[in-house]
Amino acid sequence: MIFNTPIFFWFFAIFILFYGFVFLKQKPKVYLILVGSLVFYGAWNYSFIPLLVGSGLADYFIAQAIYKAPTQQRKKQWVTLSIVLNLGLLAVFKYADFALNSVSELLTTLGYHASLDTLGWVLPVGISFYTFQSLSYTIDVYRGDMKPRKGLVEFVAALSFFPQLVAGPILRASHILPQMHAIALPKFTAIKHGFLLITVGLIKKTGADILAIPAQHAFEAKGPISTLELWTGVLAFAGQIYGDFSGYTDMAIGIALILGFSIPLNFRVPYFALSPVDFWRRWHISLSTWLRDYLYISLGGNRHGNRTRNVFLTMLLGGLWHGAAWTFVAWGAFHGAIITATHYLAGLRIFARFNQSTTWLVNFIKWAITFYLVLIGWVFFAANDLTSAIDIITNLHVLNSTIASGNNAMTIFILTCGWVLLVHIMDFYVIKGADKLENKPWLFWLLMMLGQGVCLFIGEPSNEFIYFQF
């Protein structure tokens, strides 16, 4: 069940009737959220519900055990068990086939004829999100940052909370559990803001589905295509993945607001970033901060002179988190490399003035370089394999005059650029000035009607969300 489908609309309408009119007290509300979330998840594949609930139950009891453990040594053993369980789930469902295939290919390259049978298991939707969320709870309890919660149902309800269950943002236990413990009745202004985010998310998702067409044209071309069409495709993919993922999380945040929950921001106009480090402060914030707090810091962070290694390793694993393929590893490594390079250059005296300057020209240069690097990164992310990625990157930089662009190529390029810019302007406005709009009821509802109308009017068949596969 995904947010931009009629089935979700009717599910949510029925859910709201129970939530707002029948289950008015705290405990029944929590039960309703749990049941609603499991129905939401089960609509995709009910056979994976035990995995979701089981993962939550295990971490709930492990957190209790960590808290009660008499020695640090014992606490460490319990938290290790939690890490092994959660990462084990990911390893089996997400990475086993990738590992088997890679070993098989390696052996073949070395001259051994080896064909290892893969598991071929279905990847449970949202597994990368809820395992990380659950893991953050046991690690926080282990570190003493929070106490374990008493309410088992509250914990499982928070873990499976349907707005964020399948594609994030990755919520910290410390953020969502107190809200689940005392569910607040939202203000109408918060509900309006939620509806604004849902509408903005729908617009972004609709645009993303349309951008998928030029993106596919470039990444799945059966023959040579022109440099202009290739750049259009890469740019379209950048717009598609942003619209798709940030659109989904906007809707998640909006739906949660209507239910009285606040979910932190996951994107902050990322393509306006002025450096690769800045990009990661704006892109999939809940993942980048998770990786920073639970991986980068655990590796030693900036200390011991190992920053380069730690940054690189964190980005590499961050890439692998997105998918079990070498292209994702390469994407992570590429970002690790450009962040490391940024740190290095920032330390050079020759760049110090440039780095500190905030004039528009310098900012424009910084932005252009960053955006270019991000686009190159997306080639690894979107390509079918590493060879294709390298080919595409090469062809992006070779002006091949023998291949003519298709009809309307320039128009499509301009429209793609325009859409990516428009979405960012819209996001910027929503972050900075939504309250002004919300204070003008007629204008607000008129714009919402127009926004909903546009999304109902046009659409493309590919309505799956890209991040579901992660």
Span of 133-141, 281-289, 297-305, 400-408 interacting with another protein by CB under 8 A: 400-408
Shortest distance, CB of residue 306 to another protein, whole angstroms?
35
Question: Does 417 engage in binding with another protein (CB under 8 A)?
Answer: no
Three-point CA angle 102, 88, 249, nearest 5°: 90
Question: Does 435 engage in binding with another protein (CB under 8 A)?
Answer: yes
Question: Does 50 engage in binding with another protein (CB under 8 A)?
Answer: no
Question: Could you tell me where the beta strands, DSSP code E, fall in 44-146?
Answer: none
Gyration radius (Cα) of the chain, Å: 23
Report the alpha-carbon distance of residue 429 to residue 460 in Å, rounded. 26
Single residue of 3, 19, 279, 326 touching another protein by CB under 8 A = 19
Single residue of 27, 88, 458, 464 touching another protein by CB under 8 A = 458
Single residue of 24, 152, 348, 414 touching another protein by CB under 8 A = 24
Reference 465, options 97, 50, 156, 165; nearest CA is 165
Report the alpha-carbon distance of residue 405 to residue 307 in Å, rounded. 45
Report the alpha-carbon distance of residue 88 to residue 107 in Å, rounded. 25
| CB nearer another protein, residue 23 or residue 67 | 23
Question: Does 7 engage in binding with another protein (CB under 8 A)?
Answer: yes
Question: Does 45 engage in binding with another protein (CB under 8 A)?
Answer: no
Question: Does 347 engage in binding with another protein (CB under 8 A)?
Answer: no
Question: Does 79 engage in binding with another protein (CB under 8 A)?
Answer: no
Report the alpha-carbon distance of residue 301 to residue 182 in Å, rounded. 35
Tokens of 175: 């953020």
DSSP label at 244? H
Question: Does 459 engage in binding with another protein (CB under 8 A)?
Answer: yes
Report the alpha-carbon distance of residue 144 to residue 421 in Å, rounded. 44
Report the alpha-carbon distance of residue 413 to residue 73 in Å, rounded. 59
| CB nearer another protein, residue 214 or residue 318 | 214
Helix ranges restricted to H, 383-408: 386-396
Question: Does 28 engage in binding with another protein (CB under 8 A)?
Answer: no
Query: Catalytic one among 193, 217, 322, 424?
Result: 322
Question: Does 215 engage in binding with another protein (CB under 8 A)?
Answer: no
Report the alpha-carbon distance of residue 83 to residue 89 in Å, rounded. 10
Q: Could you give the string, one character per residue 438-457, with x where binding to another protein holds by CB under 8 A and - elsewhere?
A: -------x--xxx-xx-xxx
Q: Report whether 392 contacts 383 (CB < 8 A).
A: yes
Rounded to the nearest 10°, the torsion over CA 287, 292, 294, 299 is: 140
| CB nearer another protein, residue 116 or residue 450 | 450
Question: Does 260 engage in binding with another protein (CB under 8 A)?
Answer: yes
Report the alpha-carbon distance of residue 397 to residue 47 in Å, rounded. 48
| CB nearer another protein, residue 84 or residue 450 | 450
| CB nearer another protein, residue 263 or residue 338 | 263
Single residue of 265, 295, 299, 386 touching another protein by CB under 8 A = 265
Task: Provide the 10 A C-beta neighbour count for residue 122.
Answer: 10
Question: Does 222 engage in binding with another protein (CB under 8 A)?
Answer: no
Report the alpha-carbon distance of residue 237 to residue 229 in Å, rounded. 12
Question: Does 360 engage in binding with another protein (CB under 8 A)?
Answer: no
Question: Can 217 be counted among the known catalytic residues?
Answer: no
Site size for another protein (CB under 8 A) = 58
Task: Provide the 10 A C-beta neighbour count for residue 344.
Answer: 11
Span of 62-70, 90-98, 109-117, 251-259 interacting with another protein by CB under 8 A: 251-259
Binding site for another protein (CB under 8 A): 1, 5-7, 10, 13, 16-17, 19-21, 24, 43, 184-191, 193, 195, 197, 210, 213, 250, 253, 257-258, 260-265, 406-408, 411-412, 430-431, 434-435, 445, 448-450, 452-453, 455-461
